[in-house]
Amino acid sequence: MPGFELFGEQEKKEVQDVLDSGVLMRYGFDGMRQGHWKAREMETALRARMDTKYAHLVSSGTAALTVALASAGVGAGDEVILPTFTFVASFEAVLALGAIPILADIDATLTLDPQAVEKAVTHKTKVVMPVHMCGSMADLEPLKTICDNHGLVLLEDACQAIGGSYKGKPLGSFGDLGCFSFDYVKTITCGEGGALITNNEKYYLNADHYSDHGHDHLGTDRGAETHPFLGYNYRISELHAATGLAQLRRLDEFLEIQERNYTVIRKALEPIDGITFRTVPEGGVENYSFLSFLLSTEEKTRSSHKGLNAAGVDGCFYWFDNNWHYYRKWEHLTHKKSLGNLSQEVKERLPDYSQADFSKSDHWISRTISCLIKLSWTEEEVRERAKKMAAVLSAL
């Protein structure tokens, strides 16, 4: 990752089609667009690749999460359970709808712990949102059982894990809804973009309408369409969809490269005493966009991260101190810092995360380093990187 490393003629052709037509909007202007419907084409390709009945493109991964939640009826006061280790977009989408983000611990998968989820469920809970961080997945079977037992929606945030699978199903397709990000640093990129997938027709139609001001998209006269409910603007442009269409066609190519590079580095680290790797649930296959490994203590992990940086090994992340991906630095959430007034319900019911005990999450993240896997590395560069990482970590 990311897909922009291998931009080429396929992406240029799809974008040029849009520029030649002059139609950058995904809806309308039928006579001008010369038969080009890039968003529709990408949705068709995404449905086929993810083996789902429905796919809908939007303007970002954050938009995908927001629209997916809204499509399932999530609104003011509803609770959404999500992990302590994720990108801030996960809880931003919840808050955007006036709902309450309920953080829960992670486990050795570095994703949502089913036991923590069971403890967090209340009569206000509406959605469980596992986040498949760094290319690997949550243990989805027990999470689905919890959702089935409590009548909850299982929403997979697969924004960082497109191409991975769980028990033979593409990530994002196991739950009731799945979301992807196609931003500039994802395995496939639109520049900016996202998508949701589902087998639920109601959720799909809700998403289709909600993301375009409530348009019902019936008929061929956009101005005559009705608006069955309030919506907002989360549309993707044809330019972005064109780029993503070419990239989606290359997904298997990208996954093969990532797996090859990941495997070279992992094999170099496996013999080193004190290094273990994140747990991949039984039946799970990563998308190999990151290699996440653990050391025995926080102190050794910090020293190792510093050592890798000093040796010029870029792209390795120590999430425990990260401003954007781990709860410890989310002071804007903890202190409810908002430009506009939050609803009284959010103010009163948002847990006091400054006092929360997430020591179980700390146990895992404080000992984890994740190294991104680039598509553009040559075989020699991968071997050299693996050799350098092994030398640094063995010495420490």
- CATH (domain of 147): 3.40.640.10
Tell me which of 235, 250, 265 is where a domain ends: 250
Rounded Cα–Cα distance for residues 335 and 331 (Å): 6
Mean pLDDT by 10 residues, the chain (396 residues): 93 97 96 95 98 98 98 97 98 98 98 98 98 98 98 98 98 98 97 98 98 96 95 98 98 98 98 97 98 98 97 97 97 96 95 97 98 97 98 94
Report residue 136 as tokens.
């690997």
Q: Where are the alpha helices (DSSP H) in the chain?
A: 9-21, 38-50, 61-71, 89-96, 114-120, 140-150, 201-210, 238-249, 251-269, 298-310, 331-334, 344-349, 359-365, 379-395
Q: Are 98 and 46 in a shared domain?
A: yes
Q: Are 44 and 97 in a shared domain?
A: yes
Q: Are 174 and 319 in a shared domain?
A: no
Q: Are 343 and 213 in a shared domain?
A: no
Q: Are 230 and 276 in a shared domain?
A: no
Looking at the chain, the whole-number percentage of residues with pLDDT higher than 90 is: 99
For residue 2, the model assigns a pLDDT of: 87
The residues annotated as belonging to the active site are: 186
Residue type, 205: L
Tell me which of 250, 269, 300 is where a domain ends: 250
Q: Are 171 and 276 in a shared domain?
A: no
Cis-peptide, bond into residue 2, ω within 30° of zero: yes
**Which residues is 237 bridged to in the sheet?**
25
Q: Are 24 and 123 in a shared domain?
A: yes
Question: Which residues, at least 6 apart from 312, have a Cβ–Cβ distance to it below 8 Å?
Answer: 388
For residue 396, the model assigns a pLDDT of: 85
Tell me which of 227, 250, 273 is where a domain ends: 250
**Which residues is 276 bridged to in the sheet?**
294
For residue 1, the model assigns a pLDDT of: 80
Rounded Cα–Cα distance for residues 9 and 201 (Å): 36
Per-residue pLDDT tens over the stretch 182-218: 999 999 999 999 999 999 999 999 999 999 999 999 9
Going by C-alpha positions, the residue among 155, 158, 153 that lies closest to residue 285 is: 158
